[in-house]
Amino acid sequence: MIPASYVGRFAPSPTGPLHVGSLVAAVASWLDARAVGGRWLVRMEDLDVPRCEPGAADTILSQLEAYGLHWDGAVLLQSQRDDAYAEALAALQSIGVVYPCACTRSQLADASRNHEGEIIYPGTCRNGLPAGTVARAWRVSVPDVSTYFHDRIHGDLQQNLAHEVGDFIVKRADGLYAYQLAVVVDDAFQGITHVVRGADLLWNTPRQIYLQSLLGLPTPVYAHVPLITNAAGQKLSKQTLAPALPETGCGAVLTRALATLGHPPPDELAGAEPSEQLAWASAHWHIENVPTEAAIANPVSTPENCLTPDP
C-alpha cells in the first residue's frame, strides 16, 4: 500500500549532464511519486567535489525541466551538508561501531571481490591500526548476519554484509564523507519514503539499511529500475562516454524511455510534448510493469538519432 504522504527523490551526481539512463531513473521515480499525488524532490549529490563538473548541476536541472520533470521545493546540495554527516559519524563513533583504517587502495588490490566487482574488505584494521600505520579513513563494522530487504521490482532479497561487502567506508581517506553515509542522512532529512533509482545501486541497499538501523533512521521503500547499457553492454556513464540527453526533440526520447519502463504511450501520444506523455503515464503507472532485467540496451541509440555517440 502506498501511503498518502509519499515523498520520492532523484539524486543525480553532477559529474556531467544527464544521459538517457539517468532519464529512465528520473522518469520512474517521478511517475511513482506523481501517480499517487506524492512529492518529488531533487538532491544534488555533489559531495565528491573532485568528480563534479562545473555547470553540470545547472545543466541537469534544465534537462529535467525540458522533460517536464518538475520538482517540489528547493534542491538540496550535499556539498552544504557536511555538518549533518559529521554529526552522523560522531553518533556512530559514540556507539563504537566505526574504526579508523590505514589501508590504501593498492594494499587491498588482491582482496577478494563480490559479484559487483567491489573489494570485500578483509578486516585488516578492525582490531586496531597495524603498528607504524596512520589512520586514513573510517569504516563501519558489519555483522555476520543476513540483511533481508524487499525491492518492489526485484522482490525479496538478502545479503550478508560481512561475506559480500566487509566493513565499509563511511569517511574517505580524502576527508570526504562516503556516499553510503550521506545518502542515508539525506534521505531521512528530506523525509524520503520511497526510493526509485537505477539497478546499479540495488546491492548498496543493505549497507544503507544497516546504517539506518545504527543511526535510528527510517528505512524507505526501495525499487530499482533497469540500467541502460551501450552497444558494448556497458552502463551509460561519463566514463563510457554516454552522450548528453538532448534538450530538443525530448518527446521522442521520452516515448522510448517510457517504453523501456514497460509503459509505452499509445500511438497518438508517441513523440508528444513531455507534459502530455507524463500525464498519461502517471495515470497508467504500475511499477509491476517495469522490466525486472538489471540492464537494458539503450533504446535511443539507433544511428539516425541525436543520441548516438560520435564514432
111: Cβ contacts below 8 Å, ≥ 6 apart? 119, 120, 121, 122
- Long-range contacts, stretch 87-93, CB < 8 angstroms, 24+ apart: 88/181, 88/184, 88/185, 88/215, 89/138, 89/170, 89/171, 89/177, 89/181, 91/215, 92/140, 92/170, 92/214, 92/215
Residue (39 or 197) nearer to ligand GLU, CB:
197
Instruction: Restricting to residues 210-269, name those near ligand GLU by CB under 6 A.
Output: none
- In 3D space, the residue among 189, 190, 252, 175 whose CA is nearest the CA of residue 20 turns out to be 252
Residue (44 or 103) nearer to ligand GLU, CB:
44
Q: Compute the least distance from the CB of residue 130 to ligand GLU, in Å.
A: 33
Task: Report the distance separating Cα 65 and Cα 293, nearest Å.
Answer: 28
Task: Report the distance separating Cα 30 and Cα 285, nearest Å.
Answer: 11
Residue (11 or 254) nearer to ligand GLU, CB:
11
Q: Compute the least distance from the CB of residue 196 to ligand GLU, in Å.
A: 9
Segment near ligand GLU (CB under 6 A), from 7-15, 156-164, 266-274, 275-283?
7-15
Instruction: Restricting to residues 136-175, name those near ligand GLU by CB under 6 A.
Output: none
Beta-strand ranges (E) seen in 152-275 are 155-160, 168-171, 194-198, 221-225, 227-229
Q: Compute the least distance from the CB of residue 15 to ligand GLU, in Å.
A: 8
Query: Can you state the angle between helices 82-94 and 179-189, rounded to 10 degrees?
Result: 110
Residue (136 or 194) nearer to ligand GLU, CB:
194
- The yes or no reply on residue 193 touching ligand GLU (CB under 6 A) is no
Among 197, 207, 224, 256, binds ligand GLU (CB under 6 A): 197
Segment near ligand GLU (CB under 6 A), from 6-14, 32-40, 92-100, 166-174?
6-14
Site string for ligand GLU, 33-62 (x = CB under 6 A): ------------x-----------------
Task: Report the distance separating Cα 239 and Cα 12, nearest Å.
Answer: 15
Q: Compute the least distance from the CB of residue 104 to ligand GLU, in Å.
A: 25
- The yes or no reply on residue 21 touching ligand GLU (CB under 6 A) is no
- The yes or no reply on residue 295 touching ligand GLU (CB under 6 A) is no
Task: Report the distance separating Cα 155 and Cα 149, nearest Å.
Answer: 8
Residue (12 or 226) nearer to ligand GLU, CB:
12
Residue (140 or 192) nearer to ligand GLU, CB:
192
Strand pairing class (76-77; 98-101): unpaired
- In 3D space, the residue among 210, 153, 147 whose CA is nearest the CA of residue 25 turns out to be 153
- The yes or no reply on residue 183 touching ligand GLU (CB under 6 A) is yes
Residues in a beta bridge with 295: 227
Residue (124 or 193) nearer to ligand GLU, CB:
193
Residues near ligand GLU (CB under 6 A), total? 7
Cα distances from 176 to residues 30, 43, 49, 242, in angstroms, run 29, 17, 9, 27
- The yes or no reply on residue 201 touching ligand GLU (CB under 6 A) is yes
- The yes or no reply on residue 13 touching ligand GLU (CB under 6 A) is yes
- Sites of contact with ligand GLU (CB under 6 A): 11-13, 45, 183, 197, 201
